[in-house]
């Protein structure tokens, strides 16, 4: 009974690590984020993103939703321009499990070994990276960049949209930088 609970916990951790998104941010420490209360999308930058037009719409809707939820306003005359681009690459995981075959016995006896096992598990997945850039429109300078990296799940449209929303939410939650918050 005790081991079955442990197995369930370990399995849950493994599944949650597959959904993990690693987020990093960088920003201009001299930028005044308190003035960046309005936004619009920077179309020339977004057009360069190497994803389908439908996925671009999904990303744009997710970014807009998250920024509006944080109190920003979409505007025709914005203080901040928002752009994004993407990268993807195929990754291979190789897990090698070596078992000398000693079993769960007390003591050691060279004649009682269970044999040697060498299990190799190979898995392949697509790792995607979403870059979200915030540009000070007046200065025409990049002031903040959020980067989210994680496994992509493209089984169906709903899962794809769910994954895009999660990427965007995790990235946008780090804006503005805490040391330079809006007033």
DSSP 51: S
Helix (H) or strand (E) holding 127: strand 117-136
3-state secondary structure of 55: helix
Total count of domains within the chain? 1
Residue 17: the pLDDT is 46
Burial class (CB in 10 A: 0-12, 13-18, 19+), 84: buried
Residue 52 lies in a domain: yes
Residue 8 lies in a domain: no
Residue 88 lies in a domain: yes
| Farthest CA pair distance, the chain | 81
User: For each of the chain's 183 residues, which pLDDT tens digit applies?
Assistant: 555 554 444 444 444 445 699 999 999 999 999 999 999 999 998 988 889 999 999 999 999 999 999 999 999 999 999 999 999 888 777 777 766 555 555 555 555 555 556 677 777 778 899 999 999 999 999 999 999 999 877 778 888 899 999 999 999 999 999 754 544
Residue 160 lies in a domain: yes
Residue 113: the pLDDT is 53
Domain residues for the domain of 103 are: 22-175
Give the CATH number for residue 158: 3.30.160.670
Task: Say how far residue 26 (Cα) sits from the centre of its chain.
Answer: 15
In 3D space, the residue among 88, 73, 84 whose CA is nearest the CA of residue 36 turns out to be 73
3-state secondary structure of 38: strand
3-state secondary structure of 41: strand
Task: Say how far residue 61 (Cα) sits from the centre of its chain.
Answer: 17
Residue 69 lies in a domain: yes
Instruction: Using alpha carbons, list the distances in angstroms from residue 155 to 30, 47, 90, 162.
Output: 43, 25, 16, 11
| Apex 82 CA angle, 77 and 84, nearest 5 | 155
Quote the CA–CA distance of 69 and 71 in Å, as a whole number.
Answer: 5
Residue 109: the pLDDT is 57
Residue 2: the pLDDT is 57
Quote the CA–CA distance of 182 and 16 in Å, as a whole number.
Answer: 33
Residue 3 lies in a domain: no
Residue 143 lies in a domain: yes
Residue 11 lies in a domain: no
- Global pTM value: 0.73
Residue 7: the pLDDT is 45
């Amino acid at each position: 009974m005790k081991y079955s609970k442990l197995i369930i916990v370990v399995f849950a951790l493994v599944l949650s690590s597959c959904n993990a998104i690693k987020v990093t941010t960088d920003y201009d420490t001299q930028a005044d984020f308190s003035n960046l209360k309005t936004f619009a999308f920077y179309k020339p930058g977004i057009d360069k993103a190497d994803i389908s037009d439908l996925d671009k719409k999904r990303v744009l809707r997710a970014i807009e939703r998250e920024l509006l939820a944080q109190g920003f306003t979409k505007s025709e005359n914005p203080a901040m321009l928002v752009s994004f681009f993407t990268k993807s690459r195929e990754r291979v995981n190789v897990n090698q499990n070596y078992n000398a075959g000693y079993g769960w016995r007390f003591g050691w006896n060279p004649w009682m070994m269970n044999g040697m096992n060498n299990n190799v598990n190979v898995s392949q997945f697509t790792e995607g990276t979403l870059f979200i850039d915030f540009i000070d429109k007046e200065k025409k300078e990049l002031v903040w960049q959020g980067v989210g990296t994680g496994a992509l799940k493209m089984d169906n449209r709903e899962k794809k949209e769910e994954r895009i929303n999660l990427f965007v939410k995790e990235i946008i939650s780090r804006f503005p930088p805490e040391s330079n918050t809006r007033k």
